[in-house]
Structure 1
Amino acid sequence: MHSDFGNDEELPSLLWGLDPIFSAYTKLYIKDILEIKESKHIPGIFFYNSHPISKVDVFGTVVLTREKDHFYTYGVDDGTGVISCTCWKNIRPNEGLPTGISAHQTVSGGLNIAEQLRKLQEHEQKNSKLDIGDVIQVRGQIKVFRGQREVVAQSYSKVDDPVFAVQIARMLEVPSLYRNFYDKQFQTHQVLENDSHLSRGQEVSNVSVQAERLSEKISDFLQESNIENFYQRELEIVDSLTAFASKPLPSSSSAVQEYLEPGTTGRQIRSLFREALLLLQQKGVVFQKATRPDEVYLVTDKDKVLHKVILNTIQEDCKREKYAEKGCHFLHIFTCARQAYSPYLTSTIVKRVLDKLESGSDIVSTMEGYYTAF
């Protein structure tokens, strides 16, 4: 199969959200996850037959297990290949019962709340630790770590399937998804003007250039205005930003100019702002603590709470004998930050905070990837 943009070109990122596969957990075979081409411009985005993919749904048999302090690593085999899945432990910051619930508290009918919570925690713990031969379903993002692709789980569970009913259903479902969706190219001409006939070309790439330039304007605006957090809709009413987003590039063709006009609903403008913010997220300039599009954006350099969480982690752990000599490794800091602050933090964000703390002389890097506090 051939992409609309040729073998060496990829779909412009402004159009990714228009492909429904991009928003779904794609049920690809593991062989394809290991072989699909990665985006040249944005890490963590991959392309299967022109479809942009970042999230996958992996289903298979556990053939390898490894346990660390904060996560499990499972090797999952679906018959086409084996991929490593990083599955975070569900560690609660405060063990025991939630505040306000006593060990003997009951509700009408004699139901003991504490007992039910204990059983629920036992059930979660049982389903989080798997053995070789267990069947697992993992939903998460494709990442590249030390040159190897892996899936970092956003959710995972053991699949109880004594009569193979779930596995058979999966075996029937996936070929149908390939046939009806994955193996059909994303037709960009259905998204752009039907009579524009844009080809592989320069015109569509101008749309991505516009988003890149808008992201730079937003970054400058956030810094100049000393903004700590914001919603996308708040940026869309800033006259200077909206005027820039509405103005086509001088080199754009008339078809792209028409595509960039806000129209009566402003859908294209909102899409352009969304794409610009995605670029800023990829660079670690801003981030969200949840994945909903309407969630508040936080400015990484201005988030004092995140800076304090990371600094405290380094200060406290460097007092321990294990970290006293070399300091804390980046992966340890990253893991602790995700556990203490938000599971949606990326390594780019944490690295940016570390650079900020180091430039302020709060911490120092002792060797490659290790940090200690003064």
Structure 2
Amino acid sequence: MAITIKEVAKLAGVSPSTVSRTCTDNPKISEKTKEKVRKAMKELGYTPNFQASNLVTKNSKTIGVILPMAEKNTYQNTFFLEVIHGISQCCNNSGYMNTIISGNSKEELFDTINSVIKSGKVDGFILLYSKGEDPVVNHLVSKNFPYAIIGKPATHENTTIYVDNDNITAGKDATSYLISLGHKKIIFFYNKGHRVFVQDRKLGYISALAEYNIPFDPALCIEEKEIVEKENEYFKEIFSLPDPPSAIIAIDDITALNLEKTLAGLRIDIPDDISMICFNNSLITNLTNPPLTCVDINNYQLGFQVAEQIIKHLLTPDTMATKIIVPHSIVERKSCKKR
């Protein structure tokens, strides 16, 4: 015979409604009470019927996770896999599901978003990116539909739920770390310059140089698309200078991986000829040769926190939009050395 919610309530010493609210991770129930209820559920082998409760509340209990529109490397970037892992774990804990939403064009993405909104298949969205003048954000705002962002919003900041790192400080810390090793000519190598986090890390880079009285050289701040298919020529030229750069900051681990390959082809050794630090600290950074020193931005935690915030706001819609900053740290490996 199936265990009932009343039996769980009796064992936990609470009301059946408290058990029901615990199953949906209602913030009005204390963590102490939730733990007591969950212990009783586990002891009795009770499994909540989320599908039945969804019919009563008319909620889908599903979060739509929006990926960037068809960009190179999006589906190979372990950053997104680790973030989605965090989102999924939080959703599982709260009795929610998540579904991935993407598109090869703005029109395709809008069609999918509108379709799931009209069908009631999602209660809210999480955007795994933030960029200036984002038509998706403007569209969701116009629909008055709940959403949260990983990254600092370029618009509607005061009313947007978001989870981010302090990317200005992260960029500054990466640069200061290299300066502490004796490096003064440092390349800042990036892509997706329209993204807010890229501009913030760049500001941090410039700020650290200023703090150490090192002149900012715009020629050392290079966007990947500016040298695409000319990488060999660019690095040959820059390393033929009388005083070449001695370090590189790569905007993420995928970019760093591509740089390693390019530099290896030119017989430029890491770290003997040039030191390298990157952001993200995904699994691949420890598998490269040499393993990459990284700024760990806690990808999993970004995902977990953004899911937790959107779910809290879905359960209590009148609360103010929260802004969460996830801390970062530098993980030292073998791609950097003292000058």
Q: More helix by proportion, 1 or 2? A: 2
State TM-score, norm by structure 1: 0.23
Q: More strand by proportion, 1 or 2? A: 1
Could you say which structure has the greater relative contact order, defined with CA pairs below 8 angstroms and 6 or more residues apart? 2
